[in-house]
């Protein structure tokens, strides 16, 4: 039975699938050639990350497909309900990348409060000629300790983000209409553990309280942004925002306006409305810390994703 890992799979995942008797194809097939490739090779399962689209047309045109696997959490690039209506199993790996995404959130947070993104742009250009001027320009950094981190979405990644915030010394609040107050266990290297009960507040309360907001929710089905001009107006002056969830949950045009007016001091974006071609206004704004959708792109996360996919595939296709 053939499995196409069109967006790649870790060596550990590939080995686990092959040990279970599957043939793993690592071809990177262009979207427009995907239907022909699947049919010509009688592919039984396709594994994707965020690049490959598995839509209704592909599902209808490829009767050999029995399973669609998403290496990661969000499945915006898959017509999940339609696939299930055709009897196709759809799986993802919601637990595997939580820590990696949470650490990237804090990479952005630490970078933004110490102006690392802008500093790393300007030091190579002017560090030898304007060292004192740059030192002065970046002299008003902030500490995260003691600040309030508002997390929208209390799923696995939101909770992993909360753990780091608690470890840094931040106050943490959640907003999630599908959760009660959230219990988080903070585990240490020596086996000690501290439990925290984190309040789940209204969205307006979170906006008003938070010095920094991190988003961990899927894109809405109607395409409406969760944070836009109305929400920015309710936030503290000089607050910061990180989006490592999905492009579109922040209105980027209104974010730029809020940054330009200094209502929002800085933003960190790993995902964008127009991937893979983010707007120039976002890319060139010195107040925005940028990464190209790499939340789950650590060796450790990819190993966990590959292994988890292999285990789920074996259980479904056995």
Instruction: Indicate the pLDDT class of residue 250, thresholds 50, 70 and 90.
Output: very high
Query: Which one is catalytic: 246, 252, 273, 308?
Result: 246
pLDDT tens for each residue of 95-134: 899 999 999 999 999 999 999 999 999 999 999 999 999 9
For range 258-285, the mean pLDDT: 96
Instruction: Indicate the pLDDT class of residue 220, thresholds 50, 70 and 90.
Output: confident
pLDDT at 206: 98
| φ and ψ at residue 184, rounded to 5 degrees | -125, 130
pLDDT at 50: 84
Count CB atoms within 10 A of the CB of residue 69. Answer: 28
For range 58-64, the mean pLDDT: 98
SS3 23: strand
Strand 239-243 relative to strand 212-215, pairing: parallel
Which residue, 163, 172, 169, is CA-closest to 195? 163
> Which residue reads 């071609």 in tokens?
277
pLDDT at 221 over 80: no
Instruction: Indicate the pLDDT class of residue 74, thresholds 50, 70 and 90.
Output: confident
For the question of residue 275 being annotated catalytic, the response is: yes
pLDDT at 317 over 90: no
Q: Which residues pair with 152 in a beta bridge?
A: 175, 215
What residues have CB less than 8 Å from 63, skipping those under 6 apart? none
CA–CA distance, 101 with 107 (Å, rounded to integer): 10
CA–CA distance, 36 with 201 (Å, rounded to integer): 50
SS3 228: coil
Q: Which residues pair with 54 in a beta bridge?
A: 78
pLDDT at 11 over 90: yes
CA–CA distance, 71 with 50 (Å, rounded to integer): 8
pLDDT at 219: 84
Are the C-beta atoms of 7 and 71 separated by less than 8 Å?
A: yes
What is the residue-averaged pLDDT of the chain?
95
For range 66-77, the mean pLDDT: 91
Instruction: Indicate the pLDDT class of residue 143, thresholds 50, 70 and 90.
Output: very high
Query: Which one is catalytic: 205, 257, 275, 311?
Result: 275
Strand 182-187 relative to strand 193-198, pairing: antiparallel
Q: Which residues pair with 212 in a beta bridge?
A: 149, 240
For the question of residue 293 being annotated catalytic, the response is: yes
CA–CA distance, 82 with 23 (Å, rounded to integer): 26
Domains by residue range for the chain, with CATH: 2-93+299-317 (3.40.50.720), 98-290 (3.40.50.720)
Instruction: Indicate the pLDDT class of residue 94, thresholds 50, 70 and 90.
Output: confident
Q: Which residues pair with 5 in a beta bridge?
A: 47
Q: Cβ-count burial of 10 within 10 angstroms (0-12 exposed, 13-18 middle, 19+ buried)?
A: buried
pLDDT at 201 over 90: yes
pLDDT at 223: 81
Length of the chain: 318
Show the beta-strand stretches assigned E in 135-281. Answer: 148-152, 171-175, 182-187, 193-198, 212-215, 239-243, 264-269
Express as a percent the part of the chain with pLDDT over 90. 92
Angle ∠(261,262,263) on CA atoms, nearest 5: 90
For the question of residue 114 being annotated catalytic, the response is: no
pTM: 0.90
């Amino acid at each position: 039975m053939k499995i196409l890992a069109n967006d790649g799979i870790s060596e550990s995942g590939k080995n686990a699938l092959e040990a279970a008797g599957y043939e793993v194809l690592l071809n990177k097939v262009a979207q427009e050639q995907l239907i022909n490739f699947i049919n010509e090779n009688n592919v039984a399962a396709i594994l994707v990350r965020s690049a490959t689209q598995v839509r209704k047309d592909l599902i209808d045109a490829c009767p050999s497909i029995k399973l669609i696997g998403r290496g990661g959490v969000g499945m915006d690039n898959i017509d999940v309900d339609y696939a299930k209506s055709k009897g196709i199993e759809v799986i993802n790996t919601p637990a595997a990348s939580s820590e990696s995404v949470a650490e990237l959130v804090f990479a952005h947070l630490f970078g933004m409060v110490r102006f690392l993104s802008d500093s790393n742009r300007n030091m190579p250009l002017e560090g030898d000629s304007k060292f004192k001027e740059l030192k002065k320009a970046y002299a008003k950094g902030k500490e995260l300790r003691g600040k309030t981190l508002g997390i929208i979405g209390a799923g696995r990644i939101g909770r992993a983000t909360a753990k780091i915030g608690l470890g840094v010394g931040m106050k943490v609040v959640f907003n999630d209409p599908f959760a009660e107050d959230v219990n988080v266990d903070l585990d240490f290297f020596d086996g000690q553990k501290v439990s925290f009960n984190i309040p789940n507040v209204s969205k307006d309360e979170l906006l008003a309280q938070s010095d920094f907001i991190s988003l961990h929710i899927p894109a809405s089905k109607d395409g409406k942004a969760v944070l836009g001009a109305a929400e920015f107006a309710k936030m503290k002056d000089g607050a910061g925002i990180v989006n490592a969830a999905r492009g579109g949950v922040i209105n980027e045009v209104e974010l730029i306006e809020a940054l330009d007016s200094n209502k929002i001091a800085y933003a960190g974006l790993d995902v964008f409305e127009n991937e893979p071609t983010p707007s120039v206004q976002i890319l060139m704004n010195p107040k925005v810390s940028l990464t190209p959708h790499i939340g789950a792109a650590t060796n450790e996360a990819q190993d966990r994703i590959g292994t988890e996919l292999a285990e789920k595939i074996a259980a479904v296709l056995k």
